[in-house]
């Protein structure tokens, strides 16, 4: 087994490659029309000429529920078409629409041009070596992932500094929360999903962990769901994993979200904000025709922005 300096050098090169690719995705703009997860799904669908949810889940190494949400987002953007599979009616097949094909071609063209210029500076025999050995490395990683238990997470807790980021500005992430809300997800789900995408947090518990916080804590006149979703996302970034870990940083961030929301809207209570009892049929009917829903969309946007500011604020760096 490789060890010592050789192993450390290998890991260092992988880290540098990871940093480079993350920076490229942030700066290139080739995937700014969709989330990174949607970008991967779009490419897979385009390359295959169509795929089922199961095929996409296997190709992307994600669970079906996560892929289904990704597909829902692409469908809402008019980039894919869902239809009964031609040879097996038990499955839904997804294909690219005309707009989806345009975006697929744009992403492929931009990436081919960029990485092509990188390879152009190498000798032909060096390119052959890189392509061959890179393929071997990917196959080894795939085999490791599918055949063995996953390793214990070593970088799952962030206490400051750089974090994974999918290339969206805070305003774009807030707009994502708004669009998810409009597409059928509820307030708390939409804010949690948008922020999780922003910070590249993946979990099969998203958005289901937020569902009961929708509509003022399940229509009980409780806390605004947008605020609850924002706090859940903040917890995932600043919460603790051990009983002896301090809570100050998390409490400061959550307090910042709550105080900021109250300053903007006067309350974090759903009933106070809407003036409607969503536990009644009359209240639920009225919210769609009274202008209250438009206000709720704004609450989702602002809650997402407040969460981003709270977590990424310079005032919180170094706080224990």
In a domain, 219, yes or no: yes
pLDDT of res. 163: 45
Task: Note whether 195 and 302 are same-domain residues.
Answer: yes
Q: What is the pLDDT of residues 113-168, one digit of tens each?
A: 888 888 888 888 888 888 888 888 888 877 766 555 444 445 444 433 344 444 56
Q: For the ranges 141-150, 187-196, 233-242, which has the lowest average pLDDT? A: 141-150
Q: Give the tens place of pLDDT for each residue, 218-233.
A: 999 999 999 999 999 9
Judgement on whether residues 180 and 312 belong to the same structural domain of the protein:
yes
201 and 118 within one domain: no
- What share of the chain has pLDDT > 70, as a percent? 82
Section 74-78 average pLDDT = 86
Confidence at 39, pLDDT banded by 50, 70, 90: confident
Same domain, 203 and 270: yes
Of 33-37, 168-172, 274-278, least confident by mean pLDDT is: 33-37
Q: Is the pLDDT higher at 315 or at 287? A: 287
Going by pLDDT thresholds of 50, 70 and 90, the confidence category of residue 271 is very high
Give mean pLDDT, residues 100-110.
90
Per-residue 3-state assignment (H helix, E strand, C coil) for the chain: CCCHHHHHHHHHHHHHHHHHHHHHHHHHCCCCCCCHHHHHHHHHHHHHCCEEHHHHHHHHCCCHHHHHHHHHHHHHCCCEEEEECCCCCCCEEEEECHHHHHHHHHHHHHHHHHHHHHHHCCCHHHHHHHHHHHHHHHHHHHHHHHHCCCCCCCCCCCCCCCCCCCCCCHHHHHHHHHHHHHHCCCHHHHHHHHHHHHCCCCCCCCCHHHHHHHHHHHHCCCECHHHHHHHHHHHHHHCCCCCCCCCHHHHHHHHHHHHHHHHHHCCCEHHHHHCCCCCCHHHHHHHCCCCHHHHHHHHHHHHHHHHHHHHHCHHHCCCC
Domain boundary among 147, 182, 215: 147
- pLDDT value for 161: 37
- pLDDT score of 133: 87
Same domain, 205 and 80: no
Q: Is the pLDDT of residue 94 over 60?
A: yes
Q: How confident is the model at residue 22 (pLDDT cuts 50, 70, 90)?
A: low
In terms of domains, do 125 and 70 share one? yes
Q: Among 18-27, 175-184, 300-309, which is the least confidently predicted range?
A: 18-27
Q: Are residues 302 and 209 in the same domain?
A: yes
Q: Work out how many domains the chain is built from and give that number.
A: 2
Of residues 254 and 111, the one with the higher pLDDT is: 254
Which of 293, 292, 224 has the alpha carbon at shortest distance from 260? 224
Kindly report the CATH number assigned to the domain that includes residue 132. 1.10.10.10
User: Contact 271/277 with Cβ under 8 angstroms?
Assistant: yes
CA distance 149 to 146: 8
In a domain, 17, yes or no: no
In a domain, 159, yes or no: no
Find the domain containing 188 and state its range.
170-316
128 lies in some domain: yes
- Residue appearing with tokens 């599979």: 85
User: 232-236 — which CB contacts under 8 Å span 24+ positions?
Assistant: 232/188, 232/192, 233/191, 233/192, 233/195, 233/196, 233/199, 233/201, 233/307, 234/307, 234/310, 234/311, 236/196, 236/199, 236/201
């Amino acid at each position: 087994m490789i060890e010592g300096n050789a192993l450390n050098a290998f890991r260092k090169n992988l880290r540098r490659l990871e940093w480079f690719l993350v920076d490229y995705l942030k700066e290139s703009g080739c995937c700014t029309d969709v989330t990174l997860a949607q970008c991967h799904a779009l490419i897979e669908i385009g390359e295959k000429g169509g795929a089922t949810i199961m095929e996409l889940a296997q190709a992307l190494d994600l669970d079906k529920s996560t892929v289904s949400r990704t597909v829902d987002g692409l469908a809402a953007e008019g980039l894919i078409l869902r239809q009964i599979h031609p040879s097996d009616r038990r499955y839904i097949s997804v294909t690219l629409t005309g707009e989806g094909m345009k975006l697929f071609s744009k992403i492929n063209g931009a990436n081919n041009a960029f990485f092509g210029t990188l390879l152009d500076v190498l000798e032909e025999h060096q390119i052959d070596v890189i392509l061959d050995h890179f393929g071997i490395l990917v196959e080894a990683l795939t085999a490791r992932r599918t055949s063995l238990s996953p390793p214990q997470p070593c970088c799952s807790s962030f206490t400051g500094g750089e974090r994974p980021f999918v290339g969206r500005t805070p305003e774009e992430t807030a707009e994502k929360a708004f669009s998810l809300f409009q597409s059928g997800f509820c307030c708390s789900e939409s804010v949690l999903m948008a922020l999780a995408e922003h910070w590249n947090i993946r979990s099969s518990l998203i958005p289901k962990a937020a569902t009961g916080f929708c509509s003022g804590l399940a229509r009980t006149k409780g806390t605004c769901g947008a605020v609850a979703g924002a706090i859940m996302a903040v917890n995932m970034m600043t919460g603790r994993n051990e009983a002896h870990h301090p809570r100050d940083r998390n409490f400061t961030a959550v307090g910042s979200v709550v105080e900021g929301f109250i300053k903007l809207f006067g309350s974090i209570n759903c009933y106070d904000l809407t003036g409607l009892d969503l536990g009644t049929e009359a209240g639920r009917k009225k919210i769609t025709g009274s202008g209250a829903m438009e206000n709720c969309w704004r609450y989702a946007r602002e809650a997402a922005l407040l969460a981003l500011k709270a977590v990424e604020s310079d005032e919180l760096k170094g706080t224990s």
